[in-house]
Amino acid sequence: MTIAWAIAGAVAVWGLMLVHASATITRLEAGWRAEVAHWQADAARARAYAAQLATGPPTSTAGYKPEREYVISNVPLLIAAPGRLAEPRRAAVDVTEGI
């Protein structure tokens, strides 16, 4: 009779371990599926952004010229801008020093 109880106990423990393992596997699979869905959505967003970049910048903006000459023609203006911006400050300093 003792052997029968030992076998029944072993079967019961095996059954409980099987249920526990199945629950753990189900929980882990749900986490993995959620993570895969997250990365698939992230990849879809990256593909959509790459498609936007592949089409180039919008050309509907007034005065938009992507040519190299446009950039080269504006470089002297960019170089001269700090000098023009500094002049009013010097004038303001001169006015305050005279007071």
Intra-chain end-to-end CA distance of the chain, in Å: 113
What pLDDT sits at residue 14?
96
pLDDT the model gives residue 8? 94
pTM exceeds cut of 0.95: no
- What is the pLDDT at residue 52? 84
Give Cα separations from 8 to 4, 11, 22, 27, 43 (angstroms).
Answer: 6, 5, 21, 29, 52
Provide the number of structural domains found in the chain: 1
Tens of pLDDT along the chain (99 residues) come to 899 999 999 999 999 999 999 999 999 999 999 999 999 999 999 999 988 888 766 555 555 556 777 777 777 777 777 655 555 555 555 555 555
The encoded tokens of residue 27 equal: 């929980």
Q: What is the pLDDT of residue 15?
A: 96
The answer to whether the CB of 45 falls within 8 A of the CB of 36 is: no
The whole-number pLDDT of residue 76 equals 77
Domain hosting 59: range is 2-97
